[in-house]
Structure 1
Amino acid sequence: MKNRDFDSWLSGFRESIADYGYYINFEKVHRNVDNIKVELNILNSLIGSKNIESDFENLVNKYPEVLKCIPLLLAVRAKEIYAIDSEGEFTYNFKKPNLSVEQYKVFMRKTGLFDLIENHIVNNLVDYATGVETGLDSNGRKNRGGHLMENLVESFIKKAGFIKDKTYFKEMYIHQITEKWNIDLSAISNQGKTEKRFDYVVKTPNMIYGIETNFYGGGGSKLNETARSYKTLALETDTIDGFTFVWFTDGKGWTSARHNLEETFDVMEHIYSIADLESKTINELFEEK
C-alpha cells in the first residue's frame, strides 16, 4: 500500500464529518437550565424593577439560592468569580455566599447584570440562560469532532466483524495491553515511564493493532506536533514484534501541515484516511504489508 501517492491521498481529505448532533447538544443545554429553572424564575421577578438594588437585597435574603444562577448569566461555568478594580479585589462564591449582600450588589451593578434586568433588555431569564448555555455548548464542538472520527472508525471495526471487549477494545493504555497479552511495549513507553493510551486496540490471531484517530477541519500548530509524534511512534513500534501502530486521520486542516504529514506518510505503512476506510475493509487495511 506504500505505492500510494501522497498528493492524491491528501486531495481526498474531507471538509467535515459533522453529523446533526455535532453543532449543539440541546439535551445537555436543557438539562443544565432545568437544574436552575426555579431560581431563574425567582430572579425573573426583578425584571423591570424600579428599585432593583433593594429588591435584589430582599430577594437574596429570602432566597439565597438564587445566587447560584449568576455565573451562568455571565456565561461562566465556575462557582467562583474573581474581580478587581480600584476599590479592591474580591472572589465571589455563588454556591456558598462568602461576602455581604451589599458586595454582591456591587458585583451585579459593575458587571452590568442590574442594567440587563431592570431595563428590560431581557424579558425572561430562563430563555436568556438557554441562549447562554447554547453558546457555551458550542465550545464543545472540538471534542465532539474528535469523537465523530472515533465513532466513524469504530463503525468500520464493527462492520469488519470485531467484537467490543473481545477482539477490539476502546481507550486502552500501554500497561493494559502489556498485561493482557504479555507483550513488551517498553520501546513506546520510555521503559515504562510514559503511559500512552490508544483510542482503540484490535487483536487478530497474529497481531495487536494500536489505533489512533483524529480529524482536523482547521489548521494549527497542533497538527505539526501530532504528525511528528506519530512519526516517532510509528518508528518505535516497528521494532516490536507482534504490535503495529495504525493511524486513521482526515480533514482539510492537514493542508496547512502537509509537509509534516508527508514525512510521517513516507515512513508509516499503516496511515489511512476515510476514503481508505470506505474502499477497503479493516481486515484488508490491517493485513496489507
Structure 2
Amino acid sequence: MEQMRDFNQWLSTMTDSIADWTYYVDFPKVYRNVNEIKIPLNIMNSLLGSKNIRSEFLELLDKYPEILKAIPIIVAKRLNDTILVKDVEKDFYFKFKKPNYSPEEYADFMEKSGVFDLLSNHLVANLFDYVTGVEVGMDTNGRKNRTGHTMENIVQSYLEQEGFVMGVNLYKEIYQNEVEELFNVDLSAITNEGNTSKRFDFVIKRDSIVYLIETNFYSGGGSKLNETARSYKMITEEAKTIPNVEFVWFTDGQGWFQAKKNLRETFEVLPYLYNINDLKNGILKELL
C-alpha cells in the first residue's frame, strides 16, 4: 500500500492503555510465590512478639535452616538475589538459598536491617499476609512485560481472525535462523551477516511474501522508545534488500508523543507501521 498517510493524524490515534483485568496484579503468581515458602514463614511466625528474638532466631535457624529462604522476601528481595550490605568494616554479600555466612552474621543482618524490630514489636499480624503484600508490590514491576504480552495477544487475535493458524502459516517468537529454514530466505542483511540472532514476535507467510512482525506498546516515554524506532528504521532499510520479505511493526501507546521525532523518521520509510486503531479499521485486509 503506497498511499500517503499523515503522521500527526496517525499519532493522534494512539491509545492511552491496553490494560486488561489482570494487568495490575498477577495474583496467581503472587499466591504461587508465597505458597512456595509457606512453611518457613509459618515457622518464622513464632518470632512475632518475641522479647529475646536474636537467641530465638538462632535456635530456630539451628533446628530449621530452611527459614533462611523466607528472609529475602521480607526485605523485598528474591531468594536467588545476593543481598549486598556495605558496612564500615567490610562488605557483605548475603546468600539465602545456600548460606555463605555464620548464623551470628545472619542474625546481624536481621537485626541491623530492621527485620527483628518488625517481628519483635509485633508490627505485623503474621508473615504470610505480610509477604503476600510484599509480593503484590513487587509484582507491579512486571506490568511493563504484561503490557508487551497484551499487545502481542491483540495482534495475534487479529491475525487469527484473518485465517492465520499458529504453526501452519503463523509463527510466534521465532528466531531468524528458524525463519530462514522454514521459508528458504536469507536474512543475513538484517542480522549483521549472521553475527546476531534476531527474534521476531510473529512471522507469517501470504502467497510468496514472508512478513516479519514486531509488536510493542509504550504508555510512557524514555530512551527505549528512541532506540526502538531507530532500530526498526534500520531493519526496514535492511529488509528492503531481501526479495519477498517485508517488515511490519505494530506499536501503540501515548509514550510515543514524547519520542515522535524518531518515530516519524521510521514512519516515513516503513509503509507497514500500524497501531491498534489501524487493526480495528481492517488494515490487515488491506495489507494481506
**Whole-Å separation in 1 of the counterparts to 2:95 and 2:253:** 42
TM-score (norm. length: structure 2) = 0.96
Give the equivalent residue in structure 2 for 1:21.
22
Paired residue type of 1:235: E
CA distances 1:64-116 after superposition (whole Å, capped 9, x unpaired): 11111000100001443222212322222222223222111111110000000
**Whole-Å separation in 2 of the counterparts to 1:33 and 1:256:** 39
**Whole-Å separation in 2 of the counterparts to 1:136 and 1:74:** 11
Q: Say whether the 8 Å CA contact 1:6–1:265 is kept in structure 2.
A: yes
The structure 2 residue matched to 1:137, chosen from 136, 139, 144, is 139
Q: Say whether the 8 Å CA contact 2:173–2:202 is kept in structure 1.
A: yes
Give the equivalent residue in structure 1 for 2:150.
148
1:209 aligns with 2:207: no
1:262 aligns with 2:244: no
SS in structure 2 of the partner of residue 208 of structure 1: strand
5+ long unaligned stretches in structure 1: none
CA distances 1:157-200 after superposition (whole Å, capped 9, x unpaired): 00000000101100111111111121122221222212111100
1:281 deviates by 4.9
Give the equivalent residue in structure 1 for 2:160.
158
1:283 deviates by 3.3
Q: Which moved more, 1:125-134 or 1:75-84?
A: 75-84
Superposition map of 1:159-178 within 5 A: 159-178=161-180
Q: Say whether the 8 Å CA contact 2:27–2:136 is kept in structure 1.
A: yes
Give the equivalent residue in structure 1 for 2:72.
71
**Whole-Å separation in 2 of the counterparts to 1:64 and 1:6:** 61
1:44 deviates by 0.6
Q: Say whether the 8 Å CA contact 2:85–2:93 is kept in structure 1.
A: yes
**Whole-Å separation in 2 of the counterparts to 1:185 and 1:137:** 37
Cα RMSD over matched residues? 1.2
Q: Say whether the 8 Å CA contact 2:175–2:199 is kept in structure 1.
A: yes
Give the equivalent residue in structure 1 for 2:184.
182
**Whole-Å separation in 2 of the counterparts to 1:97 and 1:208:** 52
Moved over 4 A (4+): none
Give the equivalent residue in structure 1 for 2:9.
8
5+ long unaligned stretches in structure 2: none
TM-score (norm. length: structure 1) = 0.96
**Whole-Å separation in 2 of the counterparts to 1:77 and 1:59:** 21
CA distances 1:216-266 after superposition (whole Å, capped 9, x unpaired): 000001111111111111111112111000000110000001111111111
Q: Say whether the 8 Å CA contact 2:24–2:143 is kept in structure 1.
A: yes
1:83 aligns with 2:90: no
**How many percent identity over aligned positions?**
55
CA distances 1:129-162 after superposition (whole Å, capped 9, x unpaired): 0001111111000111111100100000000000
**Whole-Å separation in 2 of the counterparts to 1:174 and 1:225:** 21
Q: Which moved more, 1:58-67 or 1:186-195?
A: 186-195
